[in-house]
Amino acid sequence: ASSLTLILQQVQIVGIVAAAQAIVILTAGIDLSVGAIMVLSSVVMGQLSYSLGVPTPLAAAFRDVITPTVFIL
């Protein structure tokens, strides 16, 4: 049971993004930028927390607020 829990924890973010993307595609819209935003957000958070030593909650907050804002502009 612990291995199934571990697998579900590792794929939860991808599953949420995939479900949202499926809804967009089913409503006759196509938005391929979702994958690009997800990748850029992951890279930004990884660089902030690993290379620069920023605490993980602060890096996650930056990822959730600043990165999508850059894509909107």
- The 10s digit of each residue's pLDDT in 23-59 is 877 887 776 677 777 777 778 888 888 888 888 888 8
Q: Is 60 exposed, middle or buried (0-12, 13-18, 19+ CB in 10 A)?
A: middle
pLDDT band (50, 70, 90) for residue 73: low
Residue with the larger pLDDT of the pair 32 and 73: 32
Q: Which of 51, 70, 48 is nearest to 59 (CA)?
A: 48
Single pTM value for the model: 0.51
Cα dihedral: 69, 43, 45, 4 (round 10): 110
